[in-house]
Each structure stands twice: as structure tokens, then as C-alpha cells.
A and B are shown apart, each in its own frame.
Chain A
Amino acid sequence: MRSDPNAAPLSLKIAAIGGLLFLHLPILLIFLYAFTTEERTYAFPPPGVTLKWFAAAWERPDIWQALTLSLQVATAATLLALILGTLISAAMAQARFFGREQISLLIILPIALPGVITGMSLRSAFGLMDIPFSTLTIILGHATFCIVIVYNNAVARFRRLSGGVLEASADLGANAFQTFRYILLPNLGTALLAGGMLAFALSFDEVIVTTFTAGQQATLPIWMLEELIRPRQRPVTNVVAMVVFAATFFPILLAYYLTRNGSETAGAGK
């Protein structure tokens, strides 16, 4: 018998902390290389330190265009996903009905199957129906896989919410809309916000489906992908990578703090 059941074997501790470091250290390098004076290679350690790439990135119109498009797409996709995800989680949480299992499979399918399939499917459909690529086709794809993120967050909260409060509200004379406005929405609020944040982060960063549905337009991740394949000013890509990282990092952190006291915490399923 061990004297202290809370003490982990040293080897396990080292492996666990080593694993966490493995997950985090590579990202720090991105930040370091954004300040390097070396433009053509990824020489380590960087020969010098400069801030000029931030100015260079600021003056590139193509970056601004990509950023604007990414923000538009992520906002629209998140709003659509919030509406559709909330509706379906309300339906799935309150009732048992025929085909429920199949529907839950249908909701997770867009992220359970590889992104290349979602992308290729949408592309085939657009091709067969002669739909031209536009911002709308990008949003269409993004909203489809964002629904499940909102759904996951909302359905967990619905399950925790006791049916009693809804009945009490009805007994006190509230109609369905008042119950929704004064009881359901405040209770769901943080879960929806967290789900929305995660959906935004996912959409802002998505590249695989987008390459199939974007046509000639470039979102920020697509811009980055092109720079990765045909680099021009490498450190500028690092500056953009930092922006993309920040734009996804803070919503995730916020989503975590919004839901950390619940039995379910945001982000457990992607």
C-alpha cells in the first residue's frame, strides 16, 4: 500500500509534463520568428531582432482583404450556427422521438468525417448545380460544421436545466415566449456564448473546407497556406500567424471561463 495515494510516480510526472511542453513550445517559436531579421530561411537562433515586419504586414492590402473576409465569414457562420444549433439542441434535449439517434449522428457527421470530404461534397454539389463560388458558399460550408459546436455546448446545458423551472414558469402564467425570454435564455446564455466563441474560433481558422468552397477569394488561413507553399516575406507570415493565433486563443479562453463551473466545460469536443 502506498503511503500517499495522491503522489504520482516520478516517471509519470515527467512524461505528463513533457507531453504538455511538447504541445506548447512549438507555438512560441512562431512568436520568436516574427522578430527575426532573416527573411529567407528559418535559421535558428535568429541572427537579429527587428520590429519592421509588423509595419510590413500592416501595409499589405492583401492581408487586410483576407482578414476582412475571414471576419465576415466567421461572424455570419457563427450567427447561423447559433440559431440552428440552439433550435436542434432544444428539440434533442426535451423529447425522445423516432429517428433521434440518426439525427444526433447527422449533427456530428460534418466534424466526424474528414474535412476534405465535407469540402469535396460541397464542391461536387456546387458543380452539379452550377452555383458560382462566393462569400456565401464559404459561409455555407462553415456554418455546417459550426452547428455541432453550438449544439454540444447548448445540449449539455439543456440537460442540466431541470424541467421544473419551465413548468413553474408556465404555472405562474408565462406563455412559451415569455418562458423562453426570461427563463431559458438567461440559463442558456453562457453556454451559447461559449459555443459561439468556439464556433467563431473554428471558422476563423478553418482552411480545409474553405479551399474547396472559396473560389478565387482568400480568407486569412488560405492566405497563410499560400505563403507556406510559396513564401515571399517569411516573417510577415509569422506576424499574421500571431494574429490568427490571438484571434482563436482569446475566444477559447473566454469560453473556458464562461463554462468552467458547470459539469460540462466548453471545448471538450471539437
Chain B
Amino acid sequence: MTAILPAKSLADRLTTLFWRKPKLLLALLITPPLLWLGVIYLGSLAALLLQSFYSIDEFSGMVVREFTLKTYGELLRPQNYDIILRTLTMSAAVTIGSVILAFPIAYYAARYARGRWKAVFYLGIMLPLWSSYLVKVYAWKLILAKEGIITWAATKTHTNFLLDAALALPGIGGNSLSTSYIGMFLVFTYVWLPFMILPMQASLERVPTSMLEASQDLGATRAQTFRTVIVPLALPGIIAGSIFTFSLTMGDYIIPQIVGNSANFIGMAVYQLQGTAGNTPLAAAFAVIPIVIMLIYLSLAKRAGAFDAL
């Protein structure tokens, strides 16, 4: 019998080896990507953490490579503390705004869109999600500019007073939309909205129609069904979406730079401190804040079952 079997090639022998020791194949497959992510990514995160425990010599401007908590102490200074608070407020506002805007789109796409409309909705959500971030921000700079389309539309429809009233609001108003918090909020919400719609839609699609019918049969009004059946079941998706909108807003530094009144945000602080100011330790300490917040957020979200909706 052995005579009719061809001689074993190297490939065959390797195959036998893999068959006998599946762990070996697994190790071969997983080592290169793990090395990449482990060394480059985790290594970099470790470097960031390390830098945040260094400090800067105030006279020479040089980084002192000695362990200290001084840099973290600086985060509590009023102007730095303000930056953190402002960023978190904006992140929360954008998340809430996205939930409100996303819900009708996600609900319609999940429950009513069929056939061709389903594809339209899918592409209609996915294309803005993937299309160029900078192009989107730029588009809003055109829209919000004082001489731009919103002012033009307000003049044509004689609703200037509404625009002026919004801009006169204390705290969030400004000279024009492109230099106000309102404008910044709009741009953030626009840019991150698809990140909220997709997980929301995914969780809404899993709500069985029979449950909605049962709710109706039991005499619930539409509002009651919405409040007691749909929202609780969609909650994991909403939380999953909020991870993205919150985290992305918190770390962004392009939008506050281009739209708004040049008030500082965490992302901007990181960028400026490591760049022009050359204060890498403080920049690193600032960057640790979103990591800590996101880790807490992620563990809470995990407990709420949000990862099943991703």
C-alpha cells in the first residue's frame, strides 16, 4: 500500500503537524498581529502613561524624566479643570442630540423600510459614516459662515430674528454660528450621528413585532408602547452608540479648532501642549483623562449589555 502514496512534501508534513498540534497553528496565526498590536499599540499607550508621570522643568522647558505626580496635579488648575468640564459637557450634549435625531431614522429603517428603501436607508447611513471627516467639517464651515447658506435662508424667509435670538443666548451664542457653541454642537452631532444610528438600528431590528402587537392588544397607547417596550429593548443599542458619540467628541480637536470661539477642549489641549508648548508630560496627562473615562464608560456599558448590540 505504501508504494502508491506519493512522497510526503514539506507542506504535507506541516499539515500533519498542524493537525496533531492545533495550538501550534493558532500560535503561528496569532503571533504577528499580536506582536504588532502589543508592541506598537500597547507599547505606545505605556509610553503615554510613562510620559504623564514625568514633568517639565519650568526654567529650561526640558522634560525631566523622573517619576512625579506633579503633572497630574496641574490638571486640577482652574483653567485646565475648565477644559475638562467643557469637553465633557459638550460630549454629553452631542450624545443626547444624536439620540434624538437618530431615533426616527433608526426606527423607520429597522421597522418600516423594506426592499429598495431598506438599501436606500442602509447606504444613506453608511456613506456619511465613511465619507471623509474633514470634508464634512469643511461643508459645515461653509454652511455656518456669516455670509453662508443659513444666513441667506433666514433672510429669504424673514426668520433672521430667530437666528439672532439663538446667537444672543448667553454662554452658547456668539458672533455668528461658526464662532458659537451652537455651531460646534451642530457640527459634532452631524459628524457622529451615523455612529449612533447603526447600533440603534441593530437593536431595534431585534425587537420582535409580536411584542409590539402584544403591547397594543393589552391596551397600551403608542406612547406607552414606546416608553415601556421599545425604549428598554433599544437601550443596549443606544448605549453602544453613545460610546462612540461620547468618545469621539471627547477626543476630537479638529472641530473645536475650525468651528467655535477657540475655547479649549481636551483634544486641542493635548495637541497644543505637545506641539507648540513642548509640554509632552502635561499633554500625556490630558490624554489619560479620556482613557480613564472611556474605560469606566465601557465597563458600565458592558454591564448594561451594550456589546451584544455592536
Residues of A that sit less than 8 Å from B by CB? 1, 5-9, 12-13, 15-16, 19-20, 22-24, 26-27, 29-30, 33, 41-45, 83-85, 87-88, 90-91, 94-95, 97, 103, 106-107, 109-110, 112-118, 120-125, 127-128, 140, 143-144, 147, 170, 175-178, 198, 201-202, 205, 207-208, 211-212, 221, 224-225, 228-229, 237-238, 241, 244-245, 248-249, 252-253, 256, 260, 265, 267-270
Known A20-B105, A87-B33; judge A252-B251 contact (CB<8 A).
no
Contact A106 B37, beta carbon cutoff 8 Å: yes
Please, how many angstroms separate the alpha-carbon atoms of A202 and B129 in the complex? 11
Residues of A within 8 A of B102 (CB): 19
Contact A205 B132, beta carbon cutoff 8 Å: yes
Residues of A within 8 A of B202 (CB): 268
Please, how many angstroms separate the alpha-carbon atoms of A112 and B104 in the complex? 25
Please, how many angstroms separate the alpha-carbon atoms of A106 and B290 in the complex? 17
Partner of A33, one of B111, B119, B142: B142
Partner of B251, one of A114, A128, A241: A114
Please, how many angstroms separate the alpha-carbon atoms of A5 and B112 in the complex? 9
Known A13-B108, A23-B190; judge A229-B257 contact (CB<8 A).
yes
Please, how many angstroms separate the alpha-carbon atoms of A268 and B125 in the complex? 10
Residues of B that sit less than 8 Å from A by CB? 9, 11-12, 14-15, 18-19, 22-23, 25-26, 29-30, 32-34, 36-38, 40-45, 47-48, 50-51, 101-102, 104-105, 107-109, 111-112, 114, 119, 121-143, 145, 147-149, 151-152, 190, 193-195, 198, 202, 209, 216-217, 222, 243, 247-248, 250-254, 257-258, 266-267, 270-271, 274, 280, 283-284, 287, 290-291, 294, 298, 310
Known A87-B32, A95-B22; judge A224-B15 contact (CB<8 A).
no
Please, how many angstroms separate the alpha-carbon atoms of A26 and B243 in the complex? 25
A255 CB to nearest chain B CB (Å): 9
Contact B125 A23, beta carbon cutoff 8 Å: yes
Contact B135 A30, beta carbon cutoff 8 Å: yes
Please, how many angstroms separate the alpha-carbon atoms of A228 and B257 in the complex? 10
